[in-house]
Amino acid sequence: MLIKISQHFGISVDDLVKNERQLTTNNKSKTNSRLWLIALPIFVLICVIAVGIWNKHNSQSVNFSMKDD
């Protein structure tokens, strides 16, 4: 079974067995970078929406005019 797996991935059986930790570490760093690529734009979008709501809430003010009626 290991020979078939190694042939499928194009690596030797020794590399498949000995470098298992290295492959797992590379997969974790790829997963972390993908997570940041998704989480960062979502965080920025939430911040933009929050600032927009805060500005709209604070812009409700009373306008006075100095006209003589």
Question: What SS3 state is found at 40?
Answer: helix
In this structure, are residues 2 and 13 in contact, taking their beta carbons and an 8 Å threshold?
yes
pTM of structure: 0.44
Q: Extract the tokens encoding 37.
A: 């690529």
Lookup: tokens for 16: 């498949």
**Rounded CA separation 6/12 (Å):** 6
The first and second tokens of residue 30, run together, are 């790829």
Joined together, the tokens standing for residue 43 give 């965080």
Tens-binned pLDDT, residue by residue, of the chain (69 aa) = 888 888 888 888 888 777 655 555 566 677 778 888 899 999 999 999 999 988 887 776 666 667 765
Q: Cα(28)–Cα(47) distance, rounded to whole angstroms?
A: 28
